[in-house]
Structure 1
């Protein structure tokens, strides 16, 4: 522990400020201002280097968090990125997208605000990328084994990089026109600018990983051909089927799944011409679902110029502080205000959509909604019987 009194001298969390709302909703750039190194050093110095670092338990990757916190406090970013990359192939992605369960498990968080682990992680990788620290790790010898990776999302890319560095010849197949999967087309630029994805792909290509976009396995190449050509196959295609809402009026025009909406928006931001693009410009938008994907749609709708946006969540409003039933070091389910929610829009809780209502032209114009409730202390909401309903309609 570089600063044994760090958590005593600095008791508050200091995180990078978000850019002003009037400015950021006019572009697609990342919402956060660059972090100040002095602030980051103070926050990293708050880490107590616990004998049993529960942040390891909280982190699905088992990141060596106390080690690179110590190195950031010492201003040794070169060593910090080495320790960060020891467990994490893509900290530029996880540092921005991960909900940071490591911070919920931080021992300091029992009595003080937790260490800003997520911000320190982003600072370490951003410093490396800005200063030539993303050097290729070319294998010293090849195994003469070949591996096909189907899908170029984060799982497929991580597997491909590890296998390439082990000396195998790896080819990544992607059905879309660009490599990246969910990173490329599912996450808006205000959360993850695609320059980070491109920089990592350039490193992987320099290491020897081969990419084959515009290739649909089963059509362009059969599974039998893959088995003949490669010693091993990794299937990392992700979740491709959306969860539908089988209620009356579902076939009305103007009702869209989140992923086509986000994908088209990401393509447009990348400069592609998107025929028939789903756009929220000038429209009154309702988002069904209060999770991260809903927030991504919310921020996208703001930037497209939606007239209004309302988010409906079937669950109850989560508490602001850790409930007794979710003790440390568990990651509690808490009420959050994302950057997209900060930018505007209404949020309704404990409501379920039971019918879509349309006009005589077949366009959706209103939703019939019902209040939900929780029974027997469960987290599963249920519709009351009989079902009282209200109407949420398109303002005139």
Structure 2
């Protein structure tokens, strides 16, 4: 696919990013994409490899490899190289409902499995994908296409995140009447309130929601079903109900001083900033401000990075990011071979911005918090931290062990807990009386998606646990197929 010698002739080039010192002055996206001509050249680097692992999307030796939605990557790389942009978007949308989201926020496991990347730089698959969909919107290739006939079947989808949107989209295409129920004031789930504007402009989310509405999907907002519904009456109104409301129960840190004021879950911090931005450009002050505060972020994943970037834009006095894990290697370890997703050190946009401002990385590795210390008014002011080493216990499990004499007290006016999520919220499980698995998620087998309650299905993070946007889309699509078969009757 692409140009046979493209990977030999052209180097990998990506869109340009605004300098950190400029972009931290606002909350806008900061990447300028390549021109269509330059993107076509990048697509030409796609090799005619015998096995395109980029689109595999499965497990290899218990590790993920390639694109979970099985995007037809070599095909649309070839098409945009040849300038066939309209055909390229047709192929892209066959597997991915929302490439404008994944093209911005996906960590690109496809690129980790790219053959070009085995001994060089991978193809710019993620940016190629984004260029296809954005060009399609700009050229008017994408137009609402509501189903010509309706089945008369009604489906409620609980949760307007990526899994719920994908599931609702696919069911609507089948001709079912779909209502997506969302407890927030805007659809999108983590796309709207979990991912900062800098990574995903909320107008992009709104554009897709408007498109779904034009195709016939209905949205019921500010609707917390766990608080307002008679569940028996609710269930009687629909032929199927899909739980797609995410693994929204955050992991807590149970240490002395946890109840002090100024300690927040990262998701609450990020959501409040985004909502205030959308409501008033922060003029209402209805958010958790980091301005002039010593901020401690606990957790090293994408959410921790988002907290660093947002705190910088607030005007934080100081920042530190604590990670209990050790520093990842610069290159693949022997037990992490290609085409597995590369578990290597990643310095993301938030760390880049901090490094530019302060000349050092904000991350402190192999570090844990022992307790928080407050002032006379019950506000957190310090954190007692300690270094740890990872050792095997008597059962062979690797666990963190404190290093004696490594304790240190650091300033902490605002603490943000960004340690991931531990499953579905109990109120949802209790409301629908569905069975849980041993991780606290709604129990439903993959590819079946049926819960322990008749007519109730589950997909996305609420079923599988915290995961990627692209996996949520994948599960939403597949769950829709199962629901459609069940309510219409499987073909014999």
TM-score class, shorter-chain normalisation, is: over 0.9
Output aligned runs, 1:134-149, within 5 Å.
134-149=142-157
**Rounded Cα–Cα distance in structure 2 between residues aligned with 1:127 and 1:157:** 22
**Rounded Cα–Cα distance in structure 2 between residues aligned with 1:384 and 1:337:** 26
Output aligned runs, 1:271-350, within 5 Å.
271-272=279-280, 276-344=286-354, 346-350=362-366
Query: 2:385 maps to which residue?
Result: 369
Report the Cα offset of residue 13 of structure 1: 1.6
**Rounded Cα–Cα distance in structure 2 between residues aligned with 1:36 and 1:340:** 26
**Rounded Cα–Cα distance in structure 1 between residues aligned with 2:411 and 2:193:** 31
Q: 2:99 aligns with which of 81, 91, 101?
A: 91
Query: 1:113 maps to which residue?
Result: 121
Report the Cα offset of residue 294 of structure 1: 0.4
Q: Is the 8 A contact 2:260 2:374 kept in 1?
A: yes
Output aligned runs, 1:150-165, within 5 Å.
150-165=158-173
Query: 1:169 maps to which residue?
Result: 177
Q: 1:222 to 1:313 in 2, by over 3 A?
A: same
Q: 1:228 to 1:52 in 2, by over 3 A?
A: same
Residue 336 of structure 2 aligns to a residue whose secondary structure is: coil
Report the Cα offset of residue 194 of structure 1: 0.8
**Rounded Cα–Cα distance in structure 1 between residues aligned with 2:305 and 2:242:** 31
Structure 2's unaligned 5+ residue stretches are 57-65, 356-361, 414-492
State yes or no: 1:33 paired with 2:41.
no
Q: Is the 8 A contact 2:2 2:45 kept in 1?
A: no
Q: Is the 8 A contact 1:47 1:108 kept in 2?
A: yes
Report the Cα offset of residue 274 of structure 1: 5.2
Report the Cα offset of residue 384 of structure 1: 2.7
Q: 1:379 to 1:365 in 2, by over 3 A?
A: farther
Q: 1:32 to 1:385 in 2, by over 3 A?
A: closer
How many residues align? The count is 394
Q: 1:2 to 1:242 in 2, by over 3 A?
A: closer
Q: Is the 8 A contact 1:7 1:45 kept in 2?
A: yes
Residue 225 of structure 1 aligns to a residue whose secondary structure is: helix
- TM-score using structure 1 length: 0.95
Report the Cα offset of residue 389 of structure 1: 1.6
Q: 1:383 aligns with which of 376, 401, 404?
A: 401
Q: Is the 8 A contact 2:296 2:412 kept in 1?
A: no
**Rounded Cα–Cα distance in structure 2 between residues aligned with 1:63 and 1:95:** 12
Report the Cα offset of residue 137 of structure 1: 2.4
Q: Is the 8 A contact 2:276 2:286 kept in 1?
A: no
Report the Cα offset of residue 22 of structure 1: 2.1
Q: Which moved more, 1:131-140 or 1:57-66?
A: 131-140
Report the Cα offset of residue 323 of structure 1: 1.3
- TM-score using structure 2 length: 0.77
Report the Cα offset of residue 276 of structure 1: 4.8
State yes or no: 1:5 paired with 2:9.
no
After superposing on structure 2, the runs of 4+ consecutive aligned residues of structure 1 that deviate more than 6 Å are none
**Rounded Cα–Cα distance in structure 1 between residues aligned with 2:260 and 2:87:** 56
Query: 2:259 maps to which residue?
Result: 251
Q: 2:367 aligns with which of 351, 356, 376?
A: 351
Report the Cα offset of residue 271 of structure 1: 2.3
Q: Is the 8 A contact 1:315 1:381 kept in 2?
A: no
Report the Cα offset of residue 151 of structure 1: 0.6
**Rounded Cα–Cα distance in structure 2 between residues aligned with 1:238 and 1:355:** 30
**Rounded Cα–Cα distance in structure 2 between residues aligned with 1:220 and 1:361:** 37
CA RMSD of aligned residues (A): 1.8
With a CA cutoff of 8 Å and minimum separation of 6, indicate the structure with the bigger relative contact order: 2
Query: 2:43 maps to which residue?
Result: 44
Q: Is the 8 A contact 1:258 1:297 kept in 2?
A: yes
Q: 1:65 to 1:358 in 2, by over 3 A?
A: same
**Rounded Cα–Cα distance in structure 1 between residues aligned with 2:370 and 2:39:** 48
Residue 409 of structure 2 aligns to a residue whose secondary structure is: strand
Q: Is the 8 A contact 2:320 2:364 kept in 1?
A: yes
**Rounded Cα–Cα distance in structure 2 between residues aligned with 1:300 and 1:379:** 36
Structure 1's unaligned 5+ residue stretches are none
Q: Is the 8 A contact 1:2 1:73 kept in 2?
A: yes
Q: Which moved more, 1:327-336 or 1:48-57?
A: 48-57
